[in-house]
Amino acid sequence: MSKDQIIKSNFKTEEYFINMGPQHPATHGVLRLILTIDGEIIRNIEPDLGYIHRSIEKMCERDSYQQIVHLTDRMDYLSSHINNEAVCLVVEKGLEIEVPERVKVIRTIIAELTRIASHCLWWGVMGMDVGALTTYFYAFRDREMINDIFEETCGARLTMNYNIPGGLMFDIHPNFVKRVKDFITHFKTKIPEYDRLLTGNVIFQKRTKGIGILTKEDAISFGASGPVARASGVSCDIRKIHSYSAYDQVNFNEVLFTEGDSLSRYKVRIQELWESLSIIEQLIDNIPEGDIKVQTKAVIKLPKGEFYQRVETARGELGVYVNSTGTKNPYRLKFRSPGFSNLSVLNKIAKGYKIGDLVAIMSTIDIVVPDIDR
């Protein structure tokens, strides 16, 4: 008899269920995980969704195209600008209008700032999930600077609704360029500090290295995207492969790791902070002059047909599919949200690990529950 069999024959153990969530600090909102546990070891995870379903897709069928934009703020609220951009891009594609260069550059800068803000929040919460509470405050200090930039230019900190189909709602604030530059110089000193505080820490390394391995094949077959897939070596950066806005004007690297464990998912995001900073640096000094919007008709009617646009949010690939019958509302609108497919890998990668690992894996997947439920 093997060791396992001897243990099995001598001890009678029972698996039991435990509800993680919908109110649980580690599920980042109202996600409910039904865990089957054997002692500390997780045997099965069943995510139970729908606690924050607001039927945004159905609401979009009722709204005009300008009104759809503000609903996407409330999906993945941490990359709200990028969601807005996706809807605006699909409408612009349908109307076949080309937005001015200035709009493209400003959209790209703000999208990258949004990505940094999102990754900052993720870093803070990641630290908190593995037990280092102080990271949260250091990350929020830096995120606050970005939020101030947003507030000054867009008027809101989180649900910005700065994009409209055809361009931007209003021009950037005169202080925008200076503030962004200040932020870049500030943040360049802070990322190494993040590394010293958490990345290098021996306990953190032990908690994440080799835990929750997602293979390249699984990443592709589950449809994972964003940092989760890139940590497994899947090249899936929409900014590179289907360049939109001003991403074709800048040089940046797609961060790829091959290990696919929690630590490489973590490192992808830390590296992406550097890449985002370099994108902003390339664009901030030469924002072209010009109009900030193309005047569209007050009632936008998309031509009959289907339109699809993909963008890279902080969490991965967001796709917007619009089926139009030529009226002022879309006939059907579907969001392919990154969080949903990324969450689906959870059962595959977290099985057999302990509860503490599950928490760490969940935060490296970086779920935003409203994005999953919509």
Residue 30 DSSP one-character state: S
Which amino acid is residue 128, in one-letter code? M
Nearest to other proteins of 81, 207 (CB atom): 207
Q: What is the closest distance, in whole angstroms, from the C-beta atom of residue 344 to other proteins in the complex?
A: 22
Interaction between residue 248 and other proteins (CB under 8 A): no
Nearer to other proteins by C-beta: 173 or 334?
173
Question: CA-to-CA distance for 319 and 70, rounded, in angstroms?
Answer: 16
**Looking at 82, 164, 191, 246, which residue binds other proteins (CB under 8 A)?**
164
Helix, strand, or coil (residue 211): coil
Residue 156 in the binding site for other proteins (CB under 8 A): yes
Compute the least distance from the CB of residue 235 to other proteins, in Å: 31
202 to 241, contacts with other proteins by CB under 8 A? 202-207
The reply on whether position 196 binds other proteins by CB under 8 A is yes
Kindly state whether residue 8 participates in binding other proteins, applying the rule CB under 8 A: no
Site string for other proteins, 83-102 (x = CB under 8 A): --------------------
Tokens of 85: 């951009």
- Min CB(161)–other proteins separation in Å: 5
Q: Which of residues 168-187 bind other proteins (CB under 8 A)?
A: 169-170, 173
- Interaction pattern, residues 115-154, with other proteins; x per rule: CB under 8 A: ------------xxxxxxxx-xxx-xx--x---x--xxxx
Nearer to other proteins, 84 or 225 (CB): 84
Residue 198 gets which letter from DSSP?
Answer: I
Q: 42 Cβ partners below 8 Å, 6+ apart?
A: 35, 36, 350, 351, 352, 353, 354, 355, 357, 358
Report the half-sphere exposure of 250 (CA within 13 A, side-chain side): 28
C-alpha distances (whole Å) from 148 to each of 152, 169, 221, 257, 287 are: 6, 18, 40, 33, 20
The CA-CA-CA angle for residues 11, 14, 17, to 5°, reads 155
Residue 126 or 234 with smaller CB distance to other proteins: 126
In total, the chain counts a number of residues equal to: 374
**Between residue 312 and residue 371, which ones bind other proteins under the rule CB under 8 A?**
354-357, 359
Please say which residue, 154 or 219, places its beta carbon nearer to other proteins: 154
Contacts for 128 with CB less than 8 Å, ≥ 6 apart: 135, 136
Between 225 and 363, whose beta carbon lies closer to other proteins?
363
Q: Does 198 bind other proteins (CB under 8 A)?
A: yes
Q: Which residue has the tokens 């865990």?
A: 35
Q: What long-range pairs does 125-131 form, CB within 8 A, spacing at least 24?
A: 125/28, 125/363, 126/198, 126/266, 126/360, 126/363, 126/364, 127/197, 127/198, 129/26, 129/359, 129/360, 129/362, 129/363, 130/203, 130/204, 130/207, 130/208, 130/356, 130/359, 130/360, 130/363
Residue 197 makes contact with other proteins by CB under 8 A:
yes
Residue 201 binds other proteins, judged by CB under 8 A: yes
Size of the site for other proteins (CB under 8 A): 58
Pick from 16, 55, 58, 352 the residue near other proteins by CB under 8 A: 16
Rounded to the nearest whole angstrom, what is the least distance from the CB of residue 67 to other proteins in the complex? 4
CB 91 within 8 A of CB 65: yes
Whole-angstrom distance, CA of residue 197 vs CA of residue 328: 52
Candidates 189-197, 232-240, 259-267, 338-346 — which segment interacts with other proteins by CB under 8 A? 189-197
What is the Cα–Cα distance from 167 to 102, expressed in whole angstroms?
A: 9
Rounded least distance, CB 116 to other proteins, Å: 18
Which stretches of the chain bind other proteins, using CB under 8 A? 16, 18, 24-26, 40, 63, 66-67, 69-71, 73, 127-134, 136-138, 140-141, 144, 148, 151-156, 159, 161, 164, 169-170, 173, 193, 196-198, 200-207, 298, 354-357, 359
